Structure 1
Amino acid sequence: MRTPPAPLGPDSLTWRYFGDWRGVLQGLWAGSMQNMHPGLGAGVEQHSRFFTERWERLLRSLYPIGGVVFDGDRAEHTARQVRDFHHGIHGVDAQGRAYHALDPDTFYWAHATFFMGTLLTAQHFMGGLTENDKRRLFDEHVAWYALYGMSMRPVPHTWEDFQVYWKHMCAEVLEDNLATRQVLDLSELPKPPTWWWLPTIVWRALRPGVARMQAWITVGLYDPEVRTLLGYTWSARDERRHRVLGRIVHVAFGLLPLRRRMHPRARAGWDRATGRLPADAPLPETPDRNLPPLAERNDPSHYVPGR
């Protein structure tokens, strides 16, 4: 009989760092890193609604993705749901290469970016990590990945092996493709849904500055090989300013109440673990404003609560 993989819990470092709203600062990094993978980028280009509902697609995805970490004894079920959203995502890319979202190497690459995004958020915006912290987060990301029920073949065995894998992917596998450039293009970024109160004319005035700042933050998180691939430069002055920004973010978030720093799915996980909520309390789901258009809500590739 198969031994079910054990979900992560409040004693893990992943619970401490994943699900914090500071992770939004690496969202553009994560999206572009994922899309540079040839198979994943082709799937996004040909199947995703991301480019027609950028905010909604991102914000609703955070719920089940976060649930794989924070849903406790329901985390494996959440993970299988996330996996199954990808069954129909396959095809042939512009270069004639077949792809499938559930190809083990492709699926693991997306998870590797979740792990590295957690590490980068903690390193740059949450006070930093020790080498032992990184090893522990690596081990936890393996346990986290096992919940999906995918082949473990692509998963590196050690933190050192992962670093070799990551450098190989950045230098030899990732591509500068259409899906990546579309993610990085924020020139027409719509107003965030939660900023409904902001006049559209004001958002349009703010948008160029927001786009430049987010692009600069993202370039600062890239490996040197990725900056070269995408044609970006990065100076010592940029690096110093990026470190200062990270310290400011860390101090500013430290002034907020702990629960206010967390995504709702993460906050609910902590509340169940600490007894603030009963263990069987309903899981938080994305608000209706983030759902796909009505005509597409029966598409099994979309996360739609209660479907």
Structure 2
Amino acid sequence: MDHEVAGETQQLPGPESVTWKHFAATPGIFLAGTGLLLQVAHPVVGAGVLEHSDFRRHPWRRAWNTHVSTLRFVYGMGNGAHAEGRRLLELHKQIKGVDRRGRRYHALNPQAYAWVHLTLAKFMVDTAATFGTPMTESELETMWTEFRAIGAALGIKGRHLPATWRQTEELFEKTVRDTLEANQSTTDVLQALTRPTKPSRFLPDPLWWLVATPAGKLVRLTTVGTLPPVLRQRMNLTWTERDQRRLELLARLVREVHRRLPEPLRYAPVAYVIMRRERKRGRTQRRGGHASPQAA
């Protein structure tokens, strides 16, 4: 289904879109923490997560639910972007209050809601730039047109999302500089990322920490290293030239490995299944066969 965005008819992305090509690329796992930190560093989002989310008690469950939600509105899983948009709007209606600094917040604050959407696009762009092939100017603008269409399906008004990617980057930099902060939610997220809790009580502690300790160090490297420097300083996170060299070495290694992987391993599993199904459906339609329209 199409949507009206800033006076133009926009179509949700499909199998041949820039968004589908990049959003679920497997190296994105290295930048997922960065995206989450950018979100909760916004005062409204951070307060909502701190007061209304079960992230501190169940980080794995929260991460999985977020992953499933993005698959719904980006790849049309389940009932697609429209249904997921209605669900998210209903879910966030009651998330409001007064934060620890006495500031009133509401999860449906238009700027904060749009900020979360913007960080998802930035996550995709930065993943490609760091661990793959950077998007061209044309791809960036096409991706953002597609992402604005997704935003419309999620209930974000066109006026709250810049018209071009260049303008979006300017808004990103301004928000980082003037709005984002270190808060209890950023502390909690960093703790969950670098010292993750054991996902199952049946997993022996020694075995878990044997895996979790080096994994936490790796996640800290990729998360702290890809944060905007000004935000990194605001959070009092150390970053050295040695750290930077290690990140660059890791990025080169991931790029080389990822480009050699067979296609099914270059994407998150569920996203790849959806992409393959929709490609097959498209070929059937082009041959004149009958197939139900893509969920949107």
Q: Given the two structures, how large is their TM-score scaled by the length of structure 1? A: 0.82
Q: Contact between 2:81 and 2:150, CA under 8 Å: does it hold in 1?
A: no
Classify 1:262/1:84 alpha carbon distance in 2 versus 1 (closer, same or farther; 3 Å): farther
1:18 corresponds in structure 2 to 23
Matches within 5 A, 1:78-227: 78-186=84-192, 188-192=195-199, 199-227=204-232
User: Per-residue CA shift, 1:197-247, capped at 9, x if unaligned?
Assistant: 964312223433322221111111111211121123434443333222112
3-state SS, counterpart of residue 162 of structure 2: coil
Q: Contact between 1:65 and 1:82, CA under 8 Å: does it hold in 2?
A: no
Q: Deviation at 1:250? A: 2.1
Q: Which runs of 5+ in 1 are unaligned?
A: 284-307
User: What's the C-alpha RMSD, in Å, of the aligned pairs?
Assistant: 2.7
Distance in 1, matches of 2:198 and 2:261, equals: 24
Classify 1:211/1:188 alpha carbon distance in 2 versus 1 (closer, same or farther; 3 Å): closer
1:305 corresponds in structure 2 to none
Q: Deviation at 1:192? A: 4.8
Q: Contact between 1:124 and 1:246, CA under 8 Å: does it hold in 2?
A: yes
User: Per-residue CA shift, 1:262-292, capped at 9, x if unaligned?
Assistant: 3344123212312279965999xxxxxxxxx
Classify 1:256/1:280 alpha carbon distance in 2 versus 1 (closer, same or farther; 3 Å): farther
Classify 1:167/1:258 alpha carbon distance in 2 versus 1 (closer, same or farther; 3 Å): same
Distance in 2, matches of 1:131 and 1:6, equals: 20
Q: Contact between 1:64 and 1:78, CA under 8 Å: does it hold in 2?
A: yes
Q: Deviation at 1:181? A: 0.5
Matches within 5 A, 1:36-51: 36-51=41-56
User: Per-residue CA shift, 1:36-86, capped at 9, x if unaligned?
Assistant: 000100000000011111111101221121221111883322332233321
Distance in 2, matches of 1:280 and 1:86, equals: 32
Q: Contact between 1:138 and 1:159, CA under 8 Å: does it hold in 2?
A: yes
Identity %: 30
Classify 1:214/1:74 alpha carbon distance in 2 versus 1 (closer, same or farther; 3 Å): closer
1:254 corresponds in structure 2 to 259
Q: Which runs of 5+ in 2 are unaligned?
A: 5-9, 285-290
Q: Given the two structures, how large is their TM-score scaled by the length of structure 2? A: 0.85
3-state SS, counterpart of residue 101 of structure 2: coil
User: Per-residue CA shift, 1:73-127, capped at 9, x if unaligned?
Assistant: 8332233223332122111111111111111111111111111111111111123
Amino acid at match of 1:70: Y
3-state SS, counterpart of residue 153 of structure 1: helix
Distance in 2, matches of 1:281 and 1:157, equals: 28
Classify 1:87/1:255 alpha carbon distance in 2 versus 1 (closer, same or farther; 3 Å): same
Within the candidate set 48, 71, 74, 1:69 is matched to 74
2:250 corresponds in structure 1 to 245
